[in-house]
Structure 1
Amino acid sequence: MAIIEKELVELQDWEIRQFLRKVLEEAHSTAEHRGIQASDEDLLLSKWGAFVESSRQRRLKEEESRNHIHLLFSLSDAGSLKVTLGNLGRRRESHVLAFDTLLSVGPIKGLETEEGQRRRKEWLMERFPCHMHMDSMNLDSRMDRLVAFLTRLPEHHQITIYCSDNAHDQIGLRLAVYCLRHRHQPIHVVNMTQQFSAMASPNELPFHPYAIGHIPFDTLEQLLKQTATLPPLTEEQRAQYELDWRNWSEQEGTLRLWQNGAVRSVPEHYYDENLIEIVDRLQLAGTESSYVRAGRVVGEAMESWGQLIGDSFVDYRLWTLISDGKLEFRGLPGALYRYSVKVRH
């Protein structure tokens, strides 16, 4: 048994599933050919059926006990929240979900529909080479599954949505509230940026976390304790969020920023000139003909812009500028650490 356990640890989950599927298919095929005659294959299939049913019943019991839905818009934030809820003794009752897509970037028109989801997926796959791989992972966090889940969420579930002051979270918040429009249970919304500012000491006020991931872990636990008694959205607030989503769902834009306390749609090339300036400045800091690492350019850009738009989008804009003849590159495409750029004069 120790040898089997060691071998199972070495295998990946998909390899185990693949082997199990093959064994069951062979057993099923053999059992069909034997007819009513009992066999080892029949016993295997019987045990498998009992195991599946037992597993199904266990999951149902877990789902019944996890009646508090915590919704976020980042997988890493979801991981931090799970740990924090565990520290507070609230993990067993909680079901933590997260959207695994960046809603500040790409089309969101009709995203509550299958057509809108397909259109967005095609746009992302054309521009971000890693999207197809990422889309096949974390299936429970895919847009289509979460939209369907929220639409049919049982009425007895509590709902808490966490967001911050950035375009991605704020668009996600409005989409989520729209998907919950036929649900009658209260919806609690926790804006972590605002909650942090409210509890921060005077010397911390210059620090403005525009994403949950920027909040120190110990502070996150304090925030959750303080926000447990926040009132739910009023009917008027829910109606406004739903209206906001309907308006955004009709727009064709592909880049959204958080500016002056609101989400603003801007052209896709909004930051291109600034990107060229950053490359030029970093280039001049070296030798006249020096190339600058793409990763360094992206890091400088993300820090100076203070927007949650993702390094993949900045990488995409760098390659657009290269294609337009405004930047030169050396190295290999595919990852930020593999190529460098400089301004073409």
Structure 2
Amino acid sequence: MKARNTFPYIYFFEEPNVVYVYKIQGDDYITTAELSHQGEWETYEITDSFEGFNHEENSPLEGRGYFISQSHVNFMVGKINELIRKQRKGAYSLEKDGPVHLVSSASTAGALKVGLERPKTVIPFQDYFSIGPVWKLDKKSGQAYRHEWMNDNINLEQDEYELENNFTKALLEIEDIPEGVPIYIWTANNGNEQTGLRFFLHLMRNKTNQVFVLNTTELFEQWMGAKDERLYSSILNPNVLRFLFEKTQAANPLIREERMILKKEWEILVQTKEVLRLWKNGKVTSVPDDYFDALIIEVINELHKKQKKKDFIRTGRVIGEALHRMEEIVGDFYLEYRIRHLIYNGVLEIKGVPRSMRHYSVKLPD
């Protein structure tokens, strides 16, 4: 597939004679999932060269559709975002966009967008930093390694390139943050958000912006009078997040020494290929990938004892019970991955097709 552009239009040529014309209608980066309902699309068949094609001199096709492979859709998204980025340069305004908030989940981002007063910009990493390798994550090779591992092992029930697109989108948005804008990083005492905190600071290593860290575990205990070591920022509602943010307005930004400590901790993390990280003794700690296997087996064994006759148990029920008992929640996706691993190694028996945790059941062998 070839591409060329004349803003706000970008042309994509598919052999042997089809041209897709996309009109950019905003300055937000897009993903493969958003491609079909953002911007305007028209399709043309050409008889002359692609280089000389002008859509304004031709009539678009009507009532016909074409199949586009996922790899070509991903290519399109990359080219569209490149063009959007060129147009975004210098578009940020402190008065217009206000402070920038960085978070490690889409749900936290959604709550902040609802709860915080405008103006503000919220950038989410829709990733799962407690699981999957972070080896060389600041480089293309490391990102490809991580995305391949996630696609091969974690059933996220999304398009093939969606995780990669969301990751790249966040990288572009962070790079676009202008000097002078205050940056707030939301975190909590868990492997996911603490790993994210260190990665965010690494990405901003060349920025001189003031950076503030808001630890919701500590803030919730301080201002709400409740201690919850399993708290994630994503479980707090918009009103609580707004309240905690207002209470930290007089906080001091990270000083250089604090940023250097976190930077060094990140440099250690990116040298490893472990796929599971927890928050232990005030540090992001890599643990063996089978760390929760014993808990899964224990849960299944106890559920069997409640049955009149040992029978298959819905995977979703096993995961729900295991999540309730975990010292730190790493997400149902990881537990489902470990259950499949136990099946493949003969530790568990299966009934159904493991498309997702809703589609199959497991039991311990008789």
Q: Of residues 317, 333, 339 in structure 2, which corresponds to 1:312?
A: 333
How many residues align structurally? 310
Aligned pair 1:174/2:198, yes or no? yes
- Distance in 2, matches of 1:147 and 1:228, equals 26
- Structure 1 64/135 Cα, relative in aligned 2: closer, same or farther at 3 Å? farther
- For residues 213-261 of structure 1, give each alpha carbon's deviation from its aligned partner in whole angstroms, at most 9, with x where no partner exists: 2334432221121122211001110111111110111112111112233
Where 2:91 maps in the other structure, the secondary structure is: helix
- 1:43-65 deviations in Å (ceiling 9; x for gaps): 999xxxxxx99xx68x9377872
Segments of structure 2 that go 5 or more residues without pairing to the other structure are 1-32, 61-82
CA distance in 2, matches of 1:229, 1:308: 31
Contact 1:114 1:144 in 2 (8 A): no
CA distance in 1, matches of 2:164, 2:149: 20
1:165 aligned residue (185, 189, 193): 189
**1:41 corresponds to:** 56
Aligned to 2:13: none
What secondary structure does 1:60 align onto?
coil
TM-score of the superposed pair, with normalisation by structure 2: 0.75
Q: Deviations over 1:71-91 (max 9, x none)?
A: 000001100000001xxxx32
Determine whether 1:192 maps to 2:216: yes
* Distance (whole Å) between structure 1 residues aligned to residue 313 and residue 176 of structure 2: 50
- Tell me how far 1:14 sits from its aligned partner: 4.7
Offset at residue 292 of structure 1 (A): 1.3
* Separation (CA, whole Å) in 2 of partners of 1:81 and 1:192: 13
Q: Which amino acid aligns with 2:107?
A: S
**Whole-Å separation in 2 of the counterparts to 1:152 and 1:174:** 19
Amino acid at match of 2:324: E
Of 126, 131, 147 in structure 2, the residue corresponding to residue 121 of structure 1 is 147
CA distance in 2, matches of 1:178, 1:194: 23
Opposite residue 263 of structure 1, the aligned amino acid is V
Decide whether the 8 Å contact of 2:100 with 2:123 is kept in 1.
Answer: yes
Q: Which amino acid aligns with 1:83?
A: V
- 1:211 is displaced (CA, Å) by 0.2
Which structure has the bigger radius of gyration?
1
Amino acid at match of 1:108: V
* Partner residue, 1:250: 271
Q: Secondary structure at the match of 1:337?
A: coil
Q: 2:91 is matched with which residue: 53, 60, 67?
A: 60
CA contact (8 A) 2:230 2:329 kept: no
Q: 1:135 to 1:211 in 2, by over 3 A?
A: farther
1:267 equivalent to 2:298? Answer no
Task: Name whichever of 63-72 and 282-291 sits farther off.
Answer: 63-72
Percent identity between matched residues is 28
Q: Is the 8 A contact 1:103 1:172 kept in 2?
A: yes
Are the structure 2 counterparts of residues 292 and 82 from structure 1 closer, same or farther at C-alpha, using a change threshold of 3 Å? same
Q: 1:33 to 1:254 in 2, by over 3 A?
A: closer
Cα distance, 1:198 vs structure 2: 0.5
Q: Is contact 2:184-2:214 (8 Å) kept?
A: yes
Structure with a larger share of its residues in strand: 2
Moved more, 130-139 or 254-263: 130-139
Matched with 1:83 is 114
Closer/same/farther in 2, CA of residues 180 and 42 from structure 1, 3 Å limit: same
Deviation of the 1:67 alpha carbon:
3.9
Q: Give how far 1:317 is off.
A: 0.5
Cα distance in 1 between the residues matched to 2:211 and 2:59: 47
Residues 209, 215 of structure 1: 8 Å contact kept: no
Runs of 4+ aligned residues of structure 1 deviating over 4 Å after TM superposition are: 12-19, 42-45, 61-64
Structure 2 counterpart SS, 1:123: helix
Counterparts of 2:101 and 2:365, CA distance in 1? 48
* Equivalent-residue separation in structure 2 for 1:78 and 1:260 (angstroms): 27
For residues 19 and 227 of structure 1, do their structure 2 counterparts lie closer, same or farther at Cα, with a shift above 3 Å needed?
Answer: closer
Question: Counterpart of 2:56 in structure 1: which amino acid?
Answer: E
In structure 2, distance between residues paired with 1:175 and 1:318: 29
Q: TM-score normalised to the size of structure 1?
A: 0.79
2-structure distance, mates of 1:179, 1:18: 29
Partner of 1:71: 102
